[in-house]
Amino acid sequence: MFLVILRCLSIEARLCLSLYPIPLHEKESGSQGSENDNKPLGKKKAPKATKGLKKTPLQEVEQDSSDEEEQQSHGKSSTVTKKKVRRAAKKPKKAERLEARQELPGEDGVEHWVEVFTPKDSKWIPVDAVHGSVGDVSQIRQPLLYVLGIQDGRVRELTAKYCSGWLPKKSRVRENWWQQSLEPFRPAPSERDLLEDKQLESRLFRQPMPSAITELKGHPVYVLKRHLLKYEALYPADAPPLGFVRGEPVYARECVHTLRSRESWLREARMVRVREEPYKRVKGRAKKDLLSGMSTERELELFGLWQTEPYMPPVAFGGKVPRNEWGNVELFKSCMLPVGTVHLKAPALGRVAAKLNIDCVPAVVGFEGHGRGVHPVFDGWVVCEEFADTLMMAWQEEQVNISDRQEEKRQKRVFGNWRRLIRGALIRARLRDKYLGDTGDD
């Protein structure tokens, strides 16, 4: 109701919700010791000596040895009993710590509040209508897992604004699934959102560096070498560390760059410079020989952006379109179009070009995986500029001829259907007159 009143007063506001998804890992309950473990073991009673019988020297020796064994066994059993009692006493404390760590948020605090935008300061100020506080977030239910801001049917994640620390992964859902779920509801980027992102980023940089290795994994500011992915590397190689965690250097996340192979850079309209050494070598996908059926492992060479240059398209000469070794034109980006050519998207254009003896090459715009392999995706044709108008006019005439032939075929089919219908009606009338006469019965 408070949000409705603000919007009726033409005050820009948005609703903030605190979400608590189901943890990925189930809560582990501490194993309680059994009652038998908590009870001390009873002492074994020594066998009573038989009265009235005198012991022989051999019996006395045996009695002494049995007494020693009993004392040793009693000492061992008492030691085991003490260990079990200590273990049973420690188990409830460990279970309590585990439950306290994985305890769900309590019932105190608010789970939804309103943010009001102030044009003077260009900031969103939280307003708690339940407790009547402005700019105070102490009444929000803790701990925070996800915070979303909803405005005009659009959703914006505000977790970094209200959650200063990094939460354990067991309390959060999968990051890829979460980002894909929010993607259809994200608002279009605006100057106000960019300004808010800069404020959140500056706030993030002011936080101290984490002291645990687990907190550094996936951190947007800091990174360890052990957490780098297969196609990631630090550049420059001698980047100075920002600190150390357990003797391991910590680097800035801005030094992490994504590496690509030569083919991958070509799809981004970039080429690896000549005589560039690969910045990193990784294990590539195994290649299977169709003749022998054996798979051979390959080494994949990776390069960084600083080792590439913009793609220089070839030049068409003599009415011939430059093509690759497979007879296609790689057109992953519009800037990769060969100089002096045009890209025409018309179906069956190659057949018309073959009739006119014009060089026409299919354009490869990407790749897709199906049928246990990767196959090229074709879209349109590449021809020289001087033949583009002639080819398009011939293609339009061909399309007119095709439509005329289709119309003629359709009319022929319609006339044939009417002919069969009329012929069937005449045959039916003739049979009726011949066999039924003037009775009029069908």
- 344/375 same-domain check: yes
| pTM across the whole model | 0.62
Quick check: is 122 in a domain?
yes
Among residues of the chain, what percentage have pLDDT more than 90? 39
Per-residue pLDDT at 4? 87
pLDDT of 59 over the 70 cut: no
Residue (of 239, 238, 216, 240) closest to 228 by Cα position: 216
Judgement on whether residues 143 and 198 belong to the same structural domain of the protein: yes
**Of 294, 310, 326, which closes a domain?**
310
**Mean pLDDT computed over every residue of the chain:** 79
pLDDT greater than 80 at residue 86: no
* Confidence at residue 62, expressed as pLDDT on a 0 to 100 scale: 46
How many angstroms separate the CA atoms of 340 and 320, rounded?
10
Q: What is the mean pLDDT of residues 169-195?
A: 80
pLDDT at 19 over 90: no
* 371-428 confidence digits (pLDDT tens): 777 899 999 999 999 999 999 999 999 999 999 999 999 999 999 999 999 999 999 9
Asked whether residue 299 falls in the same domain as residue 360, the answer is no
Task: Report strand pairing: 329-330 vs 361-369.
Answer: parallel
- The residue type at 353: A
Per the structure, how many domains does the chain have? 3
Say whether both 139 and 201 belong to one domain: yes
Task: pLDDT band for 47, please (50, 70, 90 cuts).
Answer: very low
Identify the band that residue 220 occupies on the pLDDT scale cut at 50, 70 and 90.
Answer: confident
Kindly give the interhelix angle for 349-356 and 388-435, rounded to the nearest 10 degrees.
Answer: 110
User: Is pLDDT above 50 for 97?
Assistant: no
Domain assignment present for residue 225? The answer is no
> Which ranges of 343-387 would DSSP assign to H, the alpha helix?
349-356
Report the pLDDT averaged over residues 152-160.
Answer: 86
Q: How far is CA 286 from CA 186, 259, 265, 294, in A?
A: 40, 20, 21, 10
Which pLDDT does position 29 carry in this prediction?
40
Question: Are residues 321 and 423 both part of a single domain?
Answer: yes
What pairs with residue 128 in β-bridges? 133
Are 304 and 389 in a shared domain? no
Q: Residue 298's domain spans which residues?
A: 262-310
Residues 191 and 130 in one domain: yes
Q: What is the pLDDT of residues 270-309, one digit of tens each?
A: 999 999 999 999 988 877 776 777 777 888 999 999 999 9
Q: Residue 236: inside a domain, yes or no? A: no
Lowest mean pLDDT among 21-35, 105-119, 240-254, 364-378: 21-35
* Same structural domain, 294 and 405: no
Same domain (yes/no): 292, 354:
no
Together in a domain, 198 and 289: no
The highest-confidence range among 160-164, 257-261, 369-373, by mean pLDDT, is 257-261
State mean pLDDT over 62-88. Answer: 50
Same domain, 351 and 305: no
Q: Tell me the two tokens of residue 108.
A: 């105190």
pLDDT tier at 320 (50, 70, 90 boundaries)? very high
Q: What is the mean pLDDT of residues 430-435?
A: 90
For 266-285, give one letter per residue: b (16+ CB within 10 A) or e: bbebbbbeeeeebbeeeeee
- One domain for residues 282 and 340: no
